[in-house]
Amino acid sequence: MKCLNCQTEYAGSFCPECGQKAGVGRLTLPGILAQFFQSLTNADRGLLFNWKQLTLAPRRTVSDYLAGKRAGVFPPAQYLLLAISLYLLLDHYFRNSIAIDLGADIRNLETYQFGYEYGKFLRSNIKFFWILNVLFFALPSRLFFPRYNLAEHLTVQSFVLAQAVFAGCLFFPVYHLAILFNPFIYGSIFVLLAAVF
């Protein structure tokens, strides 16, 4: 058999040069959907594996990941992006917007206009601000726990923030709060940080 990736002739299930799996066929829509669903639901690896492990044994999961045991673990940055995206989708489609009539006099004030524009900017870029929180949590934790380098702290904080946001998603049907104001997320962050460190 000839490897599709590096053109090496071999016999077996995997190419000995590059590791490409043998018998890779054409991409199909059902195949892509099955692969996507498998990556989300596979109990031995993937999203649900991360969620289960970070819920039941956060310290062991994070320390194993930092020690190099990464096979089967959903990458922390992707885990965080997925968690934030899910929360923001829930927020977009299910949150009740509260309209408050402040009157025309207040709306004409310069401070109100500035606050309103800043709020619009923040709301349209909330995902990026929330991702920046990884850095804001990693820098102080680096000072208090110097045995890990900054990259390891960024990894830990990505796992912690993602798990906390998923916890916020679980409580979202009960409390429709924006991601910045959800106490379940902040409570989960502190519980997870205490469990990990």
Residue 14 pairs with which residues in a beta bridge?
A: 21
Whether residue 14 contacts residue 20, with contact meaning beta carbons closer than 8 Å, is answered with yes
The 3-state DSSP class for residue 103 equals coil
Across 25-29, 48-52, 64-68, the highest mean pLDDT is recorded for: 64-68
Q: Which of 7 and 25 is assigned the larger pLDDT? A: 7
What does the pLDDT read at residue 18? 82
Whether residue 157 contacts residue 65, with contact meaning beta carbons closer than 8 Å, is answered with no
pTM above 0.85, yes or no: no
| Rounded-to-integer distance, Cα 111 and Cα 99, Å | 19
Give the closest residue to 19 by CA, choosing from 36, 3, 39: 3
Residue 100 belongs to what domain range? 44-196
| Rounded-to-integer distance, Cα 100 and Cα 17, Å | 65
Q: Are residues 151 and 182 in the same domain?
A: yes
Q: Are residues 60 and 143 in the same domain?
A: yes
What does the pLDDT read at residue 163? 97
Q: Are residues 114 and 166 in the same domain?
A: yes
Q: Are residues 182 and 91 in the same domain?
A: yes
Q: Are residues 83 and 98 in the same domain?
A: yes
Q: Are residues 88 and 140 in the same domain?
A: yes
Please tell me the total count of domains within the chain: 2
What does the pLDDT read at residue 107? 61
CA dihedral sign of residues 146, 150, 156, 162: positive
Residue indicated by tokens 């599709």: 4
Comparing 61-65, 100-104, 173-177, the range with the smallest average pLDDT is 100-104
Whether residue 80 contacts residue 134, with contact meaning beta carbons closer than 8 Å, is answered with yes
| Rounded-to-integer distance, Cα 155 and Cα 31, Å | 31
How many residues does this entry show for the chain?
Answer: 197
Both tokens of 103, joined, read 């009157």
Per-residue pLDDT reduced to its tens digit, 47-60: 888 999 999 999 99
| Rounded-to-integer distance, Cα 85 and Cα 25, Å | 32
What does the pLDDT read at residue 108? 66
Once rounded to an integer, what is the mean pLDDT over residues 150-156? 95
CA dihedral sign of residues 157, 162, 163, 165: positive
Once rounded to an integer, what is the mean pLDDT over residues 176-187? 85
Once rounded to an integer, what is the mean pLDDT over residues 136-152? 94
Q: Are residues 65 and 99 in the same domain?
A: yes
Q: Which of 162 and 114 is assigned the larger pLDDT? A: 162
Give how far Cα 111 sits from Cα of 98, 108, 116, 119, Å.
21, 9, 8, 12
